[in-house]
Amino acid sequence: MRFHIEGRKVILASFVLMAVLSFVVSRFINVQGLRYFLYIGFFVEFVWTVSFFRIPNRQVNRGGNSILSSADGEIVVIEETFEKEFYNEKRIQVSVFMSPFNVHVNWYPFDGEVVYAKYHPGRFLFAKNPKSSELNERNSLVIKHGNGKSILIRQIAGVMARRIVSYANVGNKAVQGDEFGIIRFGSRVDFFLPTDAKIKVHIGDKVKAQQSIIAEF
């Protein structure tokens, strides 16, 4: 396991803050029980911050027609919807909610090419809110498969997420299981699939990026 480069400054800042707060507590809190309670709280917060930026070592579940999940989390939406940002047609939407305890790195779902990439500023509604897909801060990518079909992936910021990072640009080669970005602190990823895609997940399923197949072409 390793840690994401985007987390280095955050982890360092968290360590400094926890150290300062611990010093303040040691100087000004005389109740021993309360002091130890605060120390434990600071330690748990720091461990959570470090774990948030973890990158697990996984074997990519490669498959030519497989559409792998780009995110760890829970399936919260499977429905037919009208996608109006890029396709202007009906698509099957599959959404993965990423809790603050999930890995938040995002990976390409299949081999192909990035043909569209656009960042949208927006609000920070709770990521499970259906309106978050269109109103929240978000970043959209369209990946085209070698078979000519494509999907739109939308990284969505949530209540806690305040930064979406995407390394994908139009013309980039997408390699199944390779990283294309990260969303910091609780968020969601939407997939807009062709209507003839074979959905392999159900509402409430827990999925893992690089391994769980959400659909097949």
Q: Which two structure tokens, joined as six digits, stand for 135?
A: 């109103």
Read off φ and ψ for residue 16, nearest 5 degrees.
Answer: -65, -45
- Helices and strands counted in the chain (H then E): 3, 16
Residue from 132, 133, 140, 187 carrying the catalytic annotation: 187
Among candidates 134, 190, 187, which has minimal Cα distance to 163?
Answer: 187
What is the C-alpha separation between 159 and 73, in angstroms, rounded?
A: 16
CA 215 from centre of chain: 18
Among candidates 53, 45, 50, 47, which has minimal Cα distance to 21?
Answer: 45
What is the C-alpha separation between 108 and 112, in angstroms, rounded?
A: 9
Reply yes or no on whether 187 is catalytic: yes
Contact predicate 137/123, CB 8 Å: yes
Residues paired with residue 75 on neighbouring β-strands, in sequence order: 96
Read off φ and ψ for residue 212, nearest 5 degrees.
Answer: -80, 130
Residues identified as active-site: 187
